[in-house]
Structure 1
Amino acid sequence: MPARRAVTGRSQEPRKRFAEELRSLRAERGLTLRKLGDVVGWDWSLFSKMENGETLGGPEVVKALDQYYGTPGLLLTLWELALADPTQFKEQYRRYMTLESEAISLWHYAPYLLPGLLQTKAYAHTVLGWGSFEGEELTRQVEARWGRHALLEGEDAPSFRAIISETVLRTRLPVRAEWQEQLEHLITIGERRNVTIQVVLHSAGLYALGNTHVMFLKPTDGRTVAWLETSHSGQVVEETAAVNRLQLRYDFVRDLALSPADSRKFIMRTLEEASCEPST
């Protein structure tokens, strides 16, 4: 078997690296795509799309390939690197993606949509589907967003605080089961030691940042930068005075929010309400 190239996070084209490895491993076994589908148990067309870079597939199929090829963890590692590849995102977001991947702490305020790090695939599919994405590209963008969740996992994961307005929890997905899944995901991810979720109720009245999605990121150099986002664009703010002004507003919102424990109870009550409603 030919020597493998080292797996690192520095590849400039991780999606291509993943697809290349898939093609190489299959060629070494002398398998057709159809035969691979038969022996691994997935439709061969999925493997074709994965090898052509059209889709990354899911973790289950990648783990199955790792097991079949006898490459424990190799393909899964490449898959995770490909998911986190900032080049999958629009140019305006790549600077932010790089900062996010290097941050040691993050804190976010969400006025009307959940932050990407807390979204389920169904939620991301709904939100991204409002834009110009469709078909395979929409699937790819959803996978890429979902892959960012790995940022919050592991011993070295950054601390992440999300303050979400009550509006976010009252704006439901069209499919009730998918909305229940999203609320359950919030409850589950909120149990992680590095994740804090707080809710600002409508009863708090008007407050700063009321209509501004903002993420603060602290890289290893100790400075803090901010990312401001609307439904049309995003902007990195690095000027110290501007970031400080935004942080003061964020601190004010945090003071108005429910405690993490009470926020969890509120999300659980919201889930109970969604579960009790009749199906439509």
Structure 2
Amino acid sequence: MNESTQSADDEPGAEPKPEPGSGMLRVFGRQLKRFRLRAGMERTEFGARLGYSASTIAAYEQGRRIPPPQFIDQADELLDAGGVLKEMKEEVARAQYPSFFRDAARLETEAVELHAYDTHVVKGLMQTEEYARAVFTMRRPLLSERTIEERVQARLARQQIFARQPLPTISFVIEESVLTRPLGGERVMRGQLEQLLLYGQRRNVEIQVMPNKRDEHAGLAGPFTLIETVEGRRIAYVEAYKDSRLYSERKSVRELEEQYGLLRAQALTPRESLALIEKLLGE
């Protein structure tokens, strides 16, 4: 993979507006319609049997909305599609992400190691549903309510990485300021801190906090994520407004690996970090 420029990062950025009927969603929609017609069902009947409105079925068939995985499974069985629709489930799921993040999301599912540094918000992989919704709601330009819900569900689905077998090695370095910024309100932030404690107690996860009062800091250039795949590929995902990039060139990746190593040395230890989070919860 060569270095590739993306249009935005995992947090900031404008809402992508895929053209109706384009790409994988269009392909899936055509196949869905073909199997529905072969089964002799009108949209109203088909939708009613699966618990969806006819207008929603039309949106799926026209590639205007992203069908959830459970719908695809149910539709494949009801229409006797022989697994054709199910085989497209993974690619359809990727359409939930902004176009600039889809390659990074795919690599994330292949990771045997993942290490991330964040500066403004809790990393998406560890966000609660309420915190994620607050983050997307605050985004400018404003996202539609439907897009917000799709993005929230896609973000939560990514968290399957924590339970995947064999367990990947995962670590995070988070700025202390992120933990004291009550996005979504005090209740939402409290729930987020509690979730960080739970994740930090997993055997394959280490969370470290970078204190505000540090006179040395190796990560002033901003957030990034390091990924190693099962094939041994090492890739870096660097987040910057409207210019996020995936790097595979060894020199660039090594530079970020060096930064991350220094960040971990400068941050609180995992045990000290969890103690700080517990202290914040008690305040």
TM-score by length of 1: 0.70
Cα distance in 2 between the residues matched to 1:55 and 1:211: 37
Cα distance in 1 between the residues matched to 2:87 and 2:281: 34
Cα distance in 2 between the residues matched to 1:118 and 1:19: 32
Shift of 1:114: 2.1
Structure 2 CA distance for partners of 1:37 and 1:124, relative to 1, 3 Å: same
Shift of 1:213: 0.1
1:185 aligns with 2:184: no
Identify which of 86, 89, 98 aligns with 2:98: 89
Q: Deviations over 1:95-132 (max 9, x none)?
A: 53444343321111112222222233443444345244
Q: Which residue of 2 aligns with 1:119?
A: 127
Cα distance in 1 between the residues matched to 2:206 and 2:83: 30
Higher relative contact order (CA 8 A, sep 6+): 2
Identify which of 149, 155, 164 aligns with 2:165: 155
In structure 2, stretches of 5+ residues that fail to align are 1-22
Cα distance in 1 between the residues matched to 2:230 and 2:126: 23
User: Do the aligned partners of 2:69 and 2:93 also contact (CA within 8 Å) in 1?
Assistant: no
Q: Which residue of 2 aligns with 1:5?
A: none
Bigger Cα displacement from structure 2, 159-168 vs 226-235: 226-235
User: Do the aligned partners of 1:213 and 1:228 also contact (CA within 8 Å) in 2?
Assistant: yes
Q: Which residue of 1 aligns with 2:182?
A: 172
Q: Which residue of 1 aligns with 2:280?
A: 270
Shift of 1:82: 2.2
Identify which of 217, 221, 235 aligns with 1:225: 235
User: Do the aligned partners of 2:228 and 2:234 also contact (CA within 8 Å) in 1?
Assistant: yes
User: Do the aligned partners of 2:26 and 2:63 also contact (CA within 8 Å) in 1?
Assistant: yes
- Percent identity for Structure 1 against Structure 2: 26
User: Do the aligned partners of 1:123 and 1:182 also contact (CA within 8 Å) in 2?
Assistant: yes
1:134 aligns with 2:126: no
SS of aligned partner of 1:174: coil
Identify which of 234, 244, 249 aligns with 1:234: 244
SS of aligned partner of 2:172: strand
Structure 2 CA distance for partners of 1:39 and 1:236, relative to 1, 3 Å: closer
Cα distance in 1 between the residues matched to 2:164 and 2:181: 31
Q: Which residue of 1 aligns with 2:11?
A: none
Letter of the 1:182 counterpart: Q
Q: CA RMSD in A?
A: 3.8
Structure 2 CA distance for partners of 1:97 and 1:174, relative to 1, 3 Å: closer
Shift of 1:176: 3.9
Letter of the 1:112 counterpart: H
Cα distance in 2 between the residues matched to 1:142 and 1:121: 7
Number of residue equivalences: 260
Shift of 1:171: 1.6
Letter of the 2:219 counterpart: L
Q: Deviations over 1:190-218 (max 9, x none)?
A: 44443322222223344110451011122
Identify which of 255, 258, 266 aligns with 1:248: 258
Bigger Cα displacement from structure 2, 138-147 vs 230-239: 138-147
User: Do the aligned partners of 1:46 and 1:57 also contact (CA within 8 Å) in 2?
Assistant: no
Cα distance in 2 between the residues matched to 1:215 and 1:103: 11
User: Do the aligned partners of 1:102 and 1:219 also contact (CA within 8 Å) in 2?
Assistant: yes
Q: Which residue of 1 aligns with 2:207?
A: 197
SS of aligned partner of 2:170: strand
Cα distance in 1 between the residues matched to 2:152 and 2:95: 13
User: Do the aligned partners of 2:135 and 2:183 also contact (CA within 8 Å) in 1?
Assistant: no
Shift of 1:143: 4.0
User: Do the aligned partners of 2:112 and 2:228 also contact (CA within 8 Å) in 1?
Assistant: yes
In structure 1, stretches of 5+ residues that fail to align are 1-12, 274-280
